Amino acid sequence: MCPICKQNLAASFAKDPILSTRRSMDQLNLTVVTSNVSSPIYPPLTTSVLFRLVIFSLCLLVGVPGNIAVIILKPNWNNLSHLTRSLMLNLTVSDLLCLLTIPFWIYTSFFGWTFSLTACKLLVYFQHCTISASLLTVTVLSIQRYFVIVLQRRCHQLLDKVLLVLLWLAALILIYVLVTEQLLKEGQWIRCIPQYSSEAQWLAVLFTEILFGLASCSLVTLSYISLHKKVRSSVFFNHPETSRLLISIILSNFIMFFPLYMVNMLAVLGIILKNKELLKFCADSWSVVKSFTFTNSTINPLLYAFISTKFCPFCTKNSSNTDERTPRNT
């Protein structure tokens, strides 16, 4: 997910608030020939770029093997219900697909965007879809655990495939409005960045990201707070490691995405108030906070596959076969 470039912000500060995509593409067409003749000048490695490269490298080295290990080993999955296993696998696959886009962003950090506009849009769309699918899966998983553990309601097995299809359809449809990337010439190199036809479109994209993210984080937080209360009230499940796990899930979901939503809200405020300094701060911050979304896909295997299944005894095969009013355990 690429940050909005400073040139896009500078255009918003002009007397005409319209951010012209056509103008940026015309500039690209006029200068692309000369850039091919001249010697290549690589993008500057600023502090924010170096920070992103470190985050990307760690996520690639840790997250990809971790998600692959979950798919192959399926730790503690034998005793889980069919729905829980399906959600776990869907979460792992979406996280893995998201992390596999990192090599492209590492490459563009050194050489700029050297591919076509279609490739730019497809890559960003694919990345957004996998991130949204991961967030939706985490949300559904938390709600499912709330129903099974707190309310002691079993989930019908026939809904598994329908639920997963609806989940991915929601991600595909929702993300369609968020992909506004275009190729823009910046100095001697080309970038694949968001471009907006108007301030209204920019605000619409920001509001969509904010509302979707806050709704997901709120549902996850409320579900696990209720689950935490249930665990603490039970003598058998009142274990310190269980409490630490649930708190870790809530905090990780909050820490990884809340900075992005805060910067987006500041950008909305900056656009409305025409505050140049605030928008510049958002432009400088986006490249940093958006890199944290990849770390979420890196730690998900640890939180949801390797650890949390040990402390989810209600989400088992046997739980779907027992009476709803009877406490369930492995």
pLDDT digits 0-9 by tens, 9-49: 444 444 444 444 434 434 444 343 333 434 445 666 778 78
Quick one: average pLDDT of 54-83?
Answer: 85
pLDDT at 4 over 60: no
Contacts of 194 (CB under 8 A, 6+ apart): 2, 4, 8, 180, 181, 182, 205
pLDDT of 99: 94
pLDDT of 142: 84
pLDDT of 32: 39
Taking the mean position of all CA atoms in its chain, how far away is CA 236?
Answer: 35
Helices (H), the chain: 6-12, 21-37, 47-58, 64-73, 82-99, 102-111, 117-145, 159-176, 199-233, 240-273, 276-289, 292-300
Kindly write down the DSSP assignment for every residue of 140-199, as one continuous string.
HHHHHHIIIIIS--PPPTTHHHHHHHHHHHHHHHHHHTT--EEEEEETTEEEEEE--SSH
Per-residue b or e along 238-249, where b marks 16 or more CB atoms closer than 10 Å to that residue's CB: eeeebeebbebb
Q: Map out the domains of the chain as residue ranges.
A: 6-12+47-320
List pLDDT tens digits, range 128-157: 899 999 889 888 888 887 887 777 776 665
φ/ψ of 190, rounded to 5, equals: -110, 140
pLDDT at 321 over 70: no
Average pLDDT, the chain: 75
Under CATH, which number does the domain 6-12+47-320 receive?
1.20.1070.10
Quick one: average pLDDT of 109-115?
Answer: 87
Tell me if 183 sits within 8 A of 192, measured CB to CB: yes
Task: Name the percent of the chain lying above pLDDT 70.
Answer: 70
pLDDT at 55 over 80: yes
pLDDT of 157: 56
Task: Name the percent of the chain lying above pLDDT 90.
Answer: 18
Band (pLDDT 50/70/90 cuts) for residue 324 is very low
pLDDT at 86 over 80: yes
Tell me if 208 sits within 8 A of 202, measured CB to CB: no
Q: What is the DSSP letter of 204?
A: H
Tell me if 290 sits within 8 A of 1, measured CB to CB: yes
pLDDT of 306: 60
What's the pTM? 0.75
pLDDT at 318 over 60: no
Q: How far is residue 107's CA from residue 122's CA, in Å, rounded to a whole number?
A: 16
More confident residue, 25 or 301: 301
Q: How far is residue 117's CA from residue 133's CA, in Å, rounded to a whole number?
A: 24
Q: How far is residue 68's CA from residue 152's CA, in Å, rounded to a whole number?
A: 32
Beta bridge partners of 190: 185
List pLDDT tens digits, range 239-286: 555 556 666 777 777 788 888 889 999 999 999 998 989 998 988 888
